């Protein structure tokens, strides 16, 4: 069973009642969400709200304690080989082969996919033209982050999960990355964006899931969240809905 | 509208790219090349002249009977016990394996590529030592070439297996290097790396001969002379391989 049919109308991602505990600590208590094809879907919450664990379960990196995930109609763990062809993931704090250069790493990751994006296009998408021959370990934190994003896009994925897209990037690089994300949306790619940054969420996301203590507090458009909380800004809406201050990183 | 998603595994080109990348990692890790390649060469060059003059059996000198088996074992042991575990620990710690787990390549692919590269590295160390011994010091090839190859292969398996134990118990990349170095020098010292096992107290010499380093040296030496390889040494290498693989399988963590 090497191939699957996926309908054009069904959701890109369906997560139902996800639950995950590490030892005695419950990281994700009960998370359900649906992401429509072509949508930019934000996952917003404080540190420890369960954002990363949620997307790691969606990506098939962690097995849910309870609940189920469907990605383009596939099970990320059982249909691993198929899902890897259509899903691009940027992990938080992931490291790459330190002694390899930007070009070499892009070449390596391109070799994993049947129809990869051209190397030049990837370098240009994340603005690393000047760093092609620089080793990964010599890149700045922001440059490493940008390369990591480029590698998530190598295989022309239909769904992309970006965990902390612009954390650690300077304002210019951040805006450039936003333009890149909008370009992907225009290509019809579905994007899940884990974020701390309100400005980013407001500008990019069609809808947002607000997570608090491992649970979904609300799923709404950014404007809908503001209206629902009866506040002026998304920042205030976040505080009103979760009772917590969002530490805006970067 | 519907589309078909094909589940495709990375092909030959991907494997070659990966092996090439792993090779670059090894070559650029200059410090990691010193012990496996330069240290054995140094010992060879320092002792070859005098050893080449001492006839031990027939036309064979101490160079073939003692020095070369020792030097070739050092190449294997240092790569298997020091280098391989430190790379594994680094990959595990840094999240490289985890990053690859979300691509069509599997972490296992990286490990296989790593093994291929490290075997190539061992062959380079072997070829370098042999070239110097044959060209500069007129060493003779093993009388029983088949046995020498078989022993070398088995010794390689045993050293990698010991390295897998190191990789399994080491919590950090740093400690992997430390544990690897200590293991390498302990096995080496007991196996005659510092001036021959005859200089050791008898109990230690007997133990050393039954540990993988000493056993590999003794078995290679026997193959060089063309005499029968002692079963004790083969069993020792076999046991080390099995124990290493089983321990690693029980203790090794990917993350």
Q: What is the ipTM of this complex?
A: 0.84
User: According to the model, what pLDDT value does residue B59 have?
Assistant: 81
Interface with chain B: mutation pick from A108, A119, A157, highest number of B CBs within 10 Å? A108
Residues of A in contact with B17 (CB under 8 A): 107-108, 111
Q: What residues contact residue B155 under an 8 Å CB cut-off, 6+ apart?
A: B73, B76, B212, B215, B216, B219, B220, B237
Q: What is the CA radius of gyration of chain B?
A: 20
Nearest chain A Cα to B99, which residue? Answer: A94
Establish if A79 touches chain B: CB-CB under 8 angstroms: yes
User: According to the model, what pLDDT value does residue B91 have?
Assistant: 84
Alpha-carbon distance of B178 to B175, in angstroms, equals 5
For the residues A227-240, what does the mean pLDDT come to?
A: 86
Q: Which is nearest to B107 in space by CA: B18, B8, B17?
A: B18
Following DSSP, what letter does each residue of A17-74 receive, concatenated?
A: EEEEEETTEEEEEEEEEEE-TT-EEEEE--TTSSHHHHHHHHTTSS--SEEEEEETTB
User: According to the model, what pLDDT value does residue A230 have?
Assistant: 87
Distance in Å, alpha carbon of A97 to nearest chain B alpha carbon? 7
Q: Are the C-beta atoms of A84 and A61 separated by less than 8 Å?
A: no
**Range of weakest confidence among A68-77, A194-203, B193-202:** B193-202
Interface with chain B: mutation pick from A61, A90, A97, A107, highest number of B CBs within 10 Å? A97
For the residues A128-140, what does the mean pLDDT come to?
A: 95
For residue A87, the cross-strand partners are A159
**Do β-strands A40-44 and A190-195 pair in parallel, antiparallel, or remain unpaired?**
parallel
Q: What residues contact residue B219 under an 8 Å CB cut-off, 6+ apart?
A: B151, B154, B155, B229, B230, B233, B234, B237
Q: Would the CB atoms of B17 and A108 count as touching at under 8 Å?
A: yes
Nearest chain B Cα to A93, which residue? Answer: B95
Question: What are residue A158's phi and psi, to 5 degrees?
Answer: -95, -20
User: According to the model, what pLDDT value does residue A246 have?
Assistant: 66
Residues of B in contact with A97 (CB under 8 A): 21, 25, 96
Nearest chain B Cα to A111, which residue? Answer: B14
User: According to the model, what pLDDT value does residue B254 have?
Assistant: 63
Alpha-carbon distance of B184 to B155, in angstroms, equals 14
Distance in Å, alpha carbon of A101 to nearest chain B alpha carbon? 10
Alpha-carbon distance of A38 to A22, in angstroms, equals 33
User: According to the model, what pLDDT value does residue A170 have?
Assistant: 87
User: According to the model, what pLDDT value does residue A1 have?
Assistant: 41
Establish if A52 touches chain B: CB-CB under 8 angstroms: no
Q: Would the CB atoms of B103 and A7 count as touching at under 8 Å?
A: no
Q: Would the CB atoms of B2 and A61 count as touching at under 8 Å?
A: no
B35: which 2 tokens? 């012990």
User: According to the model, what pLDDT value does residue B69 have?
Assistant: 93
Out of B1, B8, B94, closest to residue A8 by CB: B1
Nearest chain B Cα to A149, which residue? Answer: B99
Establish if A82 touches chain B: CB-CB under 8 angstroms: yes
Q: Would the CB atoms of B96 and A97 count as touching at under 8 Å?
A: yes
Q: What is the pLDDT of residues A29-59, one digit of tens each?
A: 999 999 999 999 999 988 889 999 999 999 9
A144: which 2 tokens? 């490493």
Instruction: Give the largest Cα separation in chain B, rounded.
Output: 83
What are the average pLDDT values for consecutive 10-residue runs of chain B, which has 255 residues?
66 91 90 82 86 83 90 92 89 84 83 86 90 91 92 94 89 90 93 78 88 94 92 95 89 69
Report residue A241's pLDDT band, with 50, 70 and 90 as the boundaries: confident
Give the number of A-B residue pairs with CB atoms closer than 8 Å. Answer: 97
């Amino acid at each position: 069973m090497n191939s699957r049919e996926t309908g054009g109308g069904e959701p890109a991602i369906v997560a139902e009642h996800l639950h995950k505990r590490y030892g005695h600590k419950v990281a994700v208590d009960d998370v359900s969400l649906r992401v429509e094809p072509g949508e930019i879907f934000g996952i917003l919450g404080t540190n420890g709200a369960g954002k990363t664990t949620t997307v790691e379960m969606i990506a098939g990196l962690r097995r849910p304690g309870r609940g189920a995930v469907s990605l383009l109609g596939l099970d990320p763990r059982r249909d691993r080989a198929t899902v890897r062809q259509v899903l691009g993931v940027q992990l938080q704090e992931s490291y790459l082969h330190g002694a390899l250069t930007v070009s070499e790493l892009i070449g390596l990751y391109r070799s994993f996919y049947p129809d990869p994006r051209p190397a030049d296009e990837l370098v240009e998408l994340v603005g690393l033209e000047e760093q092609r021959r620089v080793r990964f370990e010599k890149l700045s934190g922001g440059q490493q982050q940008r390369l990591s994003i480029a590698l998530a896009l190598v295989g022309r994925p239909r769904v992309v999960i970006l965990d902390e897209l612009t954390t650690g990037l300077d304002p210019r690089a951040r805006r450039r990355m936003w333009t890149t994300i909008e370009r992907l949306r225009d290509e019809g790619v579905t994007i899940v964006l884990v974020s701390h940054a309100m400005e980013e969420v407001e500008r990019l996301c069609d809808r947002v899931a607000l997570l608090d203590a491992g649970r979904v507090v609300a799923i709404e458009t950014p404007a809908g969240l503001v209206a629902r909380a009866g506040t002026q800004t998304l920042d205030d809406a976040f505080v009103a809905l979760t009772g917590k201050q969002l530490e805006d990183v970067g | 509208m519907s589309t078909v998603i094909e589940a495709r595994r990375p092909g030959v080109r991907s494997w070659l790219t990966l092996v090439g990348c792993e090779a670059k990692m090894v070559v650029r890790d200059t410090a990691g090349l010193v012990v496996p390649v330069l240290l054995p060469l140094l010992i060879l060059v320092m002792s070859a002249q005098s050893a080449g003059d001492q006839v031990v059996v027939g036309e064979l000198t101490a160079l073939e009977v003692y020095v070369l088996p020792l030097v070739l074992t050092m190449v294997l042991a240092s790569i298997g016990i020091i280098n391989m575990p430190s790379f594994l620990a680094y990959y595990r710690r840094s999240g490289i394996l985890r990053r690859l787990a979300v691509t069509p390549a599997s972490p296992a692919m990286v490990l296989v590529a790593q093994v291929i590269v490290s075997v190539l590295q061992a062959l380079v160390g072997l070829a370098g030592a042999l070239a110097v011994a044959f060209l500069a010091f007129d060493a003779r090839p093993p009388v029983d070439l088949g046995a020498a190859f078989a022993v070398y292969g088995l010794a390689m398996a045993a050293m990698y297996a010991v390295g897998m134990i190191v990789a399994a118990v080491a919590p950090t990349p740093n400690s992997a290097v430390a544990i690897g170095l200590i293991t390498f020098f302990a096995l080496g010292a007991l196996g005659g790396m510092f001036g021959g096992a005859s200089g050791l107290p008898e109990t230690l010499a007997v133990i050393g001969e039954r540990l993988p380093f000493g056993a590999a040296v003794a078995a290679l030496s026997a193959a060089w002379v063309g005499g029968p390889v002692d079963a004790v040494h083969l069993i020792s290498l076999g046991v080390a391989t099995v124990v290493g693989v089983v321990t690693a399988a029980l203790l090794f963590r990917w993350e």
